[in-house]
Amino acid sequence: MAKNVSVDTKSTRKTEKDEKEKNINEEKNKEYEAMRDRVYQFKIYEHLNAYKEDEEDDDEEDDKEEEIYEETMMKFVLNEDERYYIECVGKSWKNRDGEETCCPEVYFLNKTTNQECESVKQCFEGWSEQNTADDEKWDMLCNRIEALSNVEEYVFTGENITLY
């Protein structure tokens, strides 16, 4: 006995067409993913090269701009009585070649707080001795320091200076 089989040609054509489209879409997706991976790898490559260049530039800049900080401490001492002295600190910055990169700075240290002061008189603001003779000695020391024309040169020698 023969069976009648009816085949819907439209549905078979449709499934074949769908299958072809599906295959085409899968191929396009694979191509797109491969292209996306290549772009991603290229971006990583560019980023790494830029990072290497930045590091090389930083190394060159560090070599050129590396500053050496120097600090020199010394004292100005009153000749009449060595108990009266004012400490100074000189700060300077030099490059690798020993050339100064900016202006050196000189500070006088406050006797009680050790705070850096730009002038000798500033060290004594808000403070005085009980004895007027002591005040006179401090004033004498300050006046002798202020009378020096080249304080920076004395400070950067690092040697204590006795003022007469």
- Over the chain (164 residues), what is each successive 10-residue block's mean pLDDT? 57 75 84 81 81 68 70 94 93 85 89 89 80 89 92 89 91
Number of folded domains in the chain? Answer: 2
My answer on whether 83 and 45 are in the same domain is no
| Non-local CB neighbours of 21 within 8 Å, separated by 6+ positions | none
Nearest to 154 by CA among 82, 90, 81: 90
My answer on whether 94 and 122 are in the same domain is yes
Extract the runs of DSSP E, i.e. beta strands, from 100-156. 105-109, 116-117
Domain of residue 51 covers 9-64
77: its two tokens: 């001492």
State how far the Cα of 135 lies from the Cα of 89, in Å rounded to an integer: 23
My answer on whether 97 and 159 are in the same domain is yes
> Cα-atom radius of gyration of the chain, to the nearest Å?
41
3 state SS of 161? strand
Give pLDDT, residue 108. 95
My answer on whether 47 and 103 are in the same domain is no
My answer on whether 60 and 72 are in the same domain is no
